[in-house]
Structure 1
């Protein structure tokens, strides 16, 4: 499904950002939560 592939892409972004700074990951997690609330 398209939604699942987008979630996996967001998780890949989170894991890559986690290597850089935790603050960016928190922002991405927040965006992911908003994304899930819109589509689920």
Structure 2
């Protein structure tokens, strides 16, 4: 199942992972995340 959220990129190229996603997948401070993109 694909679940998506829209996030804004800051001028420092940072993004905030929404709390709903962090809780669902168990992301905590200091964790690494893999980023995928679609052209």
Decide: shared fold, TM above 0.5. Answer: no
Q: Shorter-chain TM-score: what band?
A: under 0.3
Larger radius of gyration: 2
- Which structure is higher in helix share? 1
Instruction: State the TM-score, normalized to the length of structure 1.
Output: 0.26
